[in-house]
């Protein structure tokens, strides 16, 4: 006989309680948790309202959250498409080959690989001037300049923004209707809480070309985005994305670091190799798992060895815990791993 799987919803009560506790402690008005196991929905949880306003819409299945930096996983897949389509020859191509107008003294030695793994070492000062923090490939720093460069690169290579590329190749083919870079108000869009005592923010942008942080996604479609990756691009009996595109995006792509605490990355995804102290994933999360999150609290965790996808949503800027925020992110992923490892015990 094979291993028996226990009743996940019952075991997930502690996980839901944890999600709710952090939501309340951090001042988020909205929360959602959606878990797929073996392609079945085993947890679906919604709580709170779209803002702290008394008449705010309740969070429900069609509520779309601003996923902030989690949008990088979508850009990363577009970069992987560009490699597959031969618009980019190699991740190790210098970015200057594609964008010769960049200051050669500053970007010298910076490759596409460095840009997608946060190891580029580029930064921008308060006056908007670019400068180098460290030699490319030798360190790790979470800087959005790499995102801006690659967003422009995809626009140049395809003649369209990466959201339009993904809409054509993926979203429209698998029926994603609650995923998009939003520019107009809609009752389904969850507001962003900046400060609890101040009016909520819309999170809307002025364009849908991917240059702004205005991607809104329902928790279900966020999970389906993870499921697409878990299944190596195959959905509804059809190979939507070539498996090589997914594998490149979700496997470790950075080189070794002298500092062993620095996290490993795929194409923007955090990827679990050896457990790293500065990774968003805890030490009990199985190898080859991968995760992406945003400053407003969305987390998408994929654990291939357990056939699990977990999507968690909040709507409060800055993850709970202040300078110790990584502790709580790692705690959440460890709890997920423990839950499903326990489920598989004989």
Q: Which of 71, 70, 67, 157 has the alpha carbon at shortest distance from 112?
A: 157
Q: Kindly state the tokens that stand for 92.
A: 């190790």
What's the CA dihedral at 218, 223, 226, 228 to 10 degrees? -90
Distances (CA, A) of 298 to 34, 47, 91, 168: 11, 14, 28, 25
In a 3-state reduction of DSSP, which class is residue 342? helix
Q: Kindly state the tokens that stand for 68.
A: 């902030």
From CA 45, how far away is CA 19, in angstroms rounded?
10
CB neighbour class for 86 (10 Å; exposed up to 12, middle 13-18, buried from 19): exposed
In a 3-state reduction of DSSP, which class is residue 132? strand
Q: Which of 334, 264, 325 has the alpha carbon at shortest distance from 301?
A: 334
In a 3-state reduction of DSSP, which class is residue 328? helix
Sign of CA dihedral 206, 209, 214, 216: positive
Q: What is the pLDDT along the chain (346 residues), one digit of tens a residue?
A: 233 344 566 668 889 999 999 999 999 999 999 999 999 999 999 999 999 999 999 999 999 999 999 999 999 999 999 999 999 999 999 999 999 999 999 999 999 999 999 999 999 999 999 999 999 999 999 999 999 999 999 999 999 999 999 999 999 999 999 999 999 999 999 999 999 999 999 999 999 999 999 999 999 999 999 999 999 999 999 999 999 999 999 999 999 999 999 999 999 999 999 999 999 999 999 999 999 999 999 999 999 999 999 999 999 999 999 999 999 999 999 999 999 987 776 6
């Amino acid at each position: 006989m094979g291993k028996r799987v226990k009743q996940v919803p019952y075991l997930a009560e502690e996980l839901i309680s944890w999600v709710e506790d952090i939501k309340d402690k951090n001042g988020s008005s909205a929360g959602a948790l959606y878990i797929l196991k073996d392609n079945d929905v085993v947890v679906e949880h919604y709580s709170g309202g779209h803002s702290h306003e008394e008449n705010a819409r309740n969070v429900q299945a069609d509520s779309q959250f601003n996923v902030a930096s989690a949008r990088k996983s979508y850009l990363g897949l577009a970069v992987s498409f560009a490699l597959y389509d031969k618009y980019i020859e190699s991740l190790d191509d210098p970015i200057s080959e594609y964008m010769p107008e960049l200051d050669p003294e500053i970007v010298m030695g910076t490759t596409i690989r460095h840009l997608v793994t946060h190891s580029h070492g580029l930064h921008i000062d308060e006056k908007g001037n670019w400068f180098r923090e460290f030699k490319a490939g030798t360190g790790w720093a979470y800087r959005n300049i790499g995102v801006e460069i690659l967003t422009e690169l995809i626009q140049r290579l395809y003649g369209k923004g990466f959201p339009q590329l993904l809409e054509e190749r993926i979203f429209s083919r698998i029926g994603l209707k609650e995923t998009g870079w939003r520019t107009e108000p809609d009752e389904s869009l969850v507001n962003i809480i900046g400060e609890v005592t101040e009016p909520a923010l819309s999170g809307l942008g002025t364009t849908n070309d991917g240059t702004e942080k205005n991607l809104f996604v329902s928790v279900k479609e966020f999970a389906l985005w993870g499921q697409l990756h878990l299944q190596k691009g195959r959905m509804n009996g059809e190979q939507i994305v070539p498996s090589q595109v997914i594998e490149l995006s979700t496997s470790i792509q950075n080189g070794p670091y002298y500092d062993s605490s620095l996290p490993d990355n795929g194409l923007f995804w955090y990827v679990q190799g050896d457990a790293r102290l500065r990774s968003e994933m805890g030490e009990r999360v199985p190898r080859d798992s991968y995760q992406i999150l945003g400053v407003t609290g969305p987390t998408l965790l994929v654990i291939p060895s357990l056939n699990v996808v977990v999507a968690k949503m909040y709507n409060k800027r800055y993850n709970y815990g202040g300078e110790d925020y990584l502790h709580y992110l790692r705690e959440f992923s460890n709890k997920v791993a423990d839950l499903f490892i326990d489920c598989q015990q004989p």
